[in-house]
Copies of this chain bind each other. A is one copy, B any other.
Amino acid sequence: MHIEKKYISNPAEFLLKNNVLAEIAFNEIEDSIISMKSVDQEIFIINNSTKNGNGVVPIKEKCYQILEEKYVWYREKPLDYLSEKMGGPIDVYKMFGSNPYFNVGVEFETGNISSAHRSMNKLLLGLHNKELHLAILLMPIRSLSYYLTDRVSNYEEIEPYMPLVSDVPFILIGFDAEGFSPDVPFLAKGNDGMSTRAKHKWKDNFL
């Protein structure tokens, strides 16, 4: 998998150039995307034999697994200002450095476009409350989403709303596969095929 499109707000651009912790965080996210490859392949190949044929959750889970196991990110960080009912926790989260911490929140969007707006606003609220110092939203680009779960949102759908995040350190990433073939297995839909490995949940470690 690779990053095909990205939006980096000016404040985020400034951080990437001037804050080594922000640079490390971005590199870890980028590596978690690049490291997703098909079995025994050097690239990620998606089954393109039918529209909406593949699930998107296996991609998210693989990405998060790399962040957790290779880079020690944590899952499900609750925001102080939001209860579980009001937006839920941040998907994956890492505190870089110390005193002060540089906190990065990531959401990998697997829902429809409305859900993407909620993810975006959750990240924005984290930035507003200073619980996050950099926020990153991951989505497939439109041409890839054609082969993923029906109605999953894509980079191009949320991109027109980027003026709303231009004043805060926000990055939108659109990822894409390198290969398309009817001969590779479909990615499982729903939660089928998920491994039962223990997630690195924030609450198990810090609450």
**Which of A35-43, A58-66, A124-132 makes up part of the contact surface?**
A124-132
Closest to A124 in B: B164
Answer yes or no: A115 CB below 8 A from chain B CBs: yes
CA distance A164 to B118 in the complex (A): 12
Q: A111-B114, A114-B111, A114-B117 are in contact. Are A85 and B164 (CB under 8 A)?
A: no
Residues on the B chain within 8 Å of A85, using CB:
157
Q: Is the interface of A mostly helix, strand, loop or mixed?
A: helix
Q: What is the size category of the interface that chain A forms with chain B?
A: 20 to 34
Query: Are B121 and A161 interface neighbours, CB within 8 A?
Result: yes
Answer yes or no: A81 CB below 8 A from chain B CBs: yes
Answer yes or no: A82 CB below 8 A from chain B CBs: yes
Closest to A164 in B: B124
Q: What 10 A-B pairs come out closest when comparing CB atoms?
A: A114-B114, A117-B117, A117-B118, A114-B118, A114-B115, A117-B121, A128-B163, A86-B160, A124-B164, A121-B161
